[in-house]
Chain A
Amino acid sequence: MVTVLRIIVCVKAVPDPKEATRIRIDPVSRTLLRCDVPLVTNHLDRNAVEAAVQLKEELDAHVAVISMGPPPAETIVRECLALGADEGILLCDQAFGGADAFATAYTLAKGIEKMGRFDLVLCGMASSDSGTAWVGPKIGALLGIPVVTAVREIVEHEGRLWKVKASLENGYRLVRVRLPAILTVTRELNTPRALSFSGIVSAREKEITEWGINDLGVQEEAVGLRGSPTIAANLTIMNSKDSKRAVEMITGTREEAAERLVEKLAAAGML
């Protein structure tokens, strides 16, 4: 029996990591100063999209992308469509704002349930902005499906029993997992393809569906800030000037500075 492998990829719009350090909390108003940092697709989520599109090229597969985010996050869903995904879902509602990892996973899990039958959920191992690496496993736990995190290679993908390599700090685990399952992926898995002109053109034809809190049929107290078990209680503004170290700048020509630094290191017993 040949059935279409239905793949859902969770993607997140994150502040461009190259500029994200400009985001600061205003010490007076205590609000986030986003400084118009553009939103991009989270790096590792691109590896997840790439994995899905590669599976689609090899098997009979349908790839849907789901994201929870503000209206501008539609651009990254559109980008995923241009990379080869077939349809996009944007979970967008004011009520979803301020969600911690748990509430985010809950909302995404509800969105995935609403999408109907699926065989495989893929996400990047972690996001570049918060980087907890938890939304994947929490979605898995909430959907009651097996989870493998930090997948760096899909070794076997025939039938329902797959075999994957999951990264450890000093090697890897060889894991057998039964579909439907959720895998979170690392950058070692593949090299994401670049956007193509034809992909961008074809993405215009594809549909992005927007779902809000009523579409998901969830309680307002279960999502967003209200559905988050954790809250940010207090912020202490730190200043790099608070450092206990007093810097000694080493000056001179390049050669002189290098020599002086070597002397300092030698004097500290480091060479």
Chain B
Amino acid sequence: MPMHDNMGARCGPVWVIAEQMDGRIRTASLQLVGHARKLANQLGTCLEVVLLGDNLVGVTQPLFAAGADRVYLGNDPDLALYQPEIYTQMVVKLATEQEPEIMLVGSTSMGRELAPLVAARLQTGLTAHCTDLVLDENGILEQIVPAYGGLLSIVCPDRRPQMAMAARGVFPMPQFDEDSTGEVVPLDVPDEVPGRVQTLEVIREEPEGVPLGSAPIVVAGGAGAGDLDGWSRIADLAKVLNAALGSTRPAVDEGWIGLETMIGQSGKVVSPELYIGVGLSGEMQHMVGIAGARVMVAINSDAKSPVFEQVDYGVVDDCKEFVPVLVEKIKEHREKALSR
């Protein structure tokens, strides 16, 4: 039985549009379900999850364990791959019927396309890159985003659902209650879809280097690298530390590295054991993606750079000159440690 029935609730349910890959619920979705549980409790309403895919028998259990009361499950070969038209149509139809108060979507490739398609069809607001989601005293969802050296609280006062997105890592993994169960409501696949856009195939590519999401050490570079040559020195440091290489937006804009390595508000949110920021100024848009690191180091040529107010260790030096020396010292240290 669901923990909450929505009968008598003050408002519509809280929703999470979950995503699965090869039959596993994605981390960003589970984290959102965990946070959405708290919001639903505060609102006195139930937490419902929409999950679309194929061969999903048994896949829903982690969603219940994370706190979902009900899962709307579309389980059909036509849903095996993300199909924008069908997925949008199903979510829009269900949302129109069920009138959720809040709809949360993970900032994944799929979510970034699906959420705005749904929001536009429902003529409601949508907030990207949230770093927190809290309820104000009137039960309105405050969608917190960093902006211009501050934290902006964005609200969608008049239209429903209130839609927001957050990346993996913004919210912690929930406490799983493996005994928790709930109701699975099967969804029908619409008979008629225009068929004007179709995902034919999904091709996986192995990322180069150490993946950012789970790396114990992250080395991130910024505009201070100066050029591609300077950037390659930062990459050398990542390599010698067996670290994932991250970046700031200016580094991506310069074309030194791909967007998928960007750390921060509109990129990845990571919590490594060690973070070394090289040639970056400590902009909040970047730092919110790394604030959970255990030990933080910054290397920057400007002694007044705000980055030095946000780390544990700082070195004032030209990163192009300093980083190669640091790489050599790390190698020396390792050799010494081995010969001991």
Q: Are A102's CB and B119's CB within 8 A?
A: yes
Whether, in the assembled complex, B283 has its beta carbon less than 8 Å from a beta carbon of chain A, the answer is yes
In the assembled complex, the CB of A81 is this many whole angstroms from the nearest CB of chain B, namely: 23
* Partner-B contacts on A (CB < 8 A): 17-18, 21, 23-25, 32, 43, 100-102, 105, 126, 128, 130-134, 137-138, 140-142, 145-150, 163, 166-178, 181, 186-188, 228-241, 243, 245-251, 254-255, 257-259, 261-262, 264-266, 268, 270-271
- The residue in chain B whose Cβ has the minimal distance to the Cβ of A144 is B194
Contact of B153 among A132, A169, A232, A257 (CB under 8 A): A232
19 A-B pairs besides A168-B202, A240-B310 with CB distance below 8 A are: A17-B249, A25-B148, A100-B125, A132-B126, A141-B117, A146-B84, A150-B109, A150-B112, A169-B109, A173-B81, A173-B199, A177-B196, A231-B156, A235-B152, A247-B312, A249-B316, A261-B297, A261-B329, A270-B274
In the assembled complex, the CB of B153 is this many whole angstroms from the nearest CB of chain A, namely: 4
What secondary structure prevails in chain B residues at the interface with A? mixed
Name the 6 nearest CB pairs between A and B, nearest first: A229-B125, A141-B120, A230-B125, A146-B197, A134-B116, A132-B128
- State the CA gap A187–B142 with chains docked (Å): 33
- Of A24, A230, A255, chain B has the most CB atoms within 10 Å of the CB of A230
- State the CA gap A130–B70 with chains docked (Å): 34
- State the CA gap A148–B196 with chains docked (Å): 11
A150: chain B residues within 8 A (beta carbon): 109, 112-113
Q: Are A236's CB and B153's CB within 8 A?
A: yes
- Given A100-B125, A131-B129, A268-B274, decide whether A25 and B149 contact each other with a Cβ distance below 8 A: yes
Q: Which of B7-15, B43-51, B252-260 contacts A (4 or more CB under 8 A)?
A: B252-260
Contact of A21 among B124, B127, B157, B283 (CB under 8 A): B283
- Given A133-B128, A247-B308, decide whether A170 and B205 contact each other with a Cβ distance below 8 A: yes
What secondary structure prevails in chain A residues at the interface with B? mixed
- Given A21-B283, A230-B125, A245-B311, decide whether A172 and B116 contact each other with a Cβ distance below 8 A: no
- State the CA gap A239–B287 with chains docked (Å): 12
Q: Are B155's CB and A261's CB within 8 A?
A: no
- Given A25-B148, A173-B199, A261-B315, decide whether A230 and B155 contact each other with a Cβ distance below 8 A: yes
In the assembled complex, the CB of A33 is this many whole angstroms from the nearest CB of chain B, namely: 8
- The residue in chain A whose Cβ has the minimal distance to the Cβ of B195 is A178
Q: Are B333's CB and A235's CB within 8 A?
A: no
- State the CA gap A18–B223 with chains docked (Å): 9
- Given A229-B156, A235-B151, decide whether A257 and B315 contact each other with a Cβ distance below 8 A: yes
Whether, in the assembled complex, B171 has its beta carbon less than 8 Å from a beta carbon of chain A, the answer is no
- The residue in chain B whose Cβ has the minimal distance to the Cβ of A252 is B315
A17: chain B residues within 8 A (beta carbon): 249-250, 253
In the assembled complex, the CB of B72 is this many whole angstroms from the nearest CB of chain A, namely: 21
Q: Are A138's CB and B200's CB within 8 A?
A: no
In the assembled complex, the CB of B300 is this many whole angstroms from the nearest CB of chain A, namely: 11
Contact of B325 among A43, A163, A258, A265 (CB under 8 A): A258
Q: Are B197's CB and A177's CB within 8 A?
A: yes
Whether, in the assembled complex, B295 has its beta carbon less than 8 Å from a beta carbon of chain A, the answer is yes
- State the CA gap A10–B325 with chains docked (Å): 46
Q: Are B313's CB and A186's CB within 8 A?
A: no
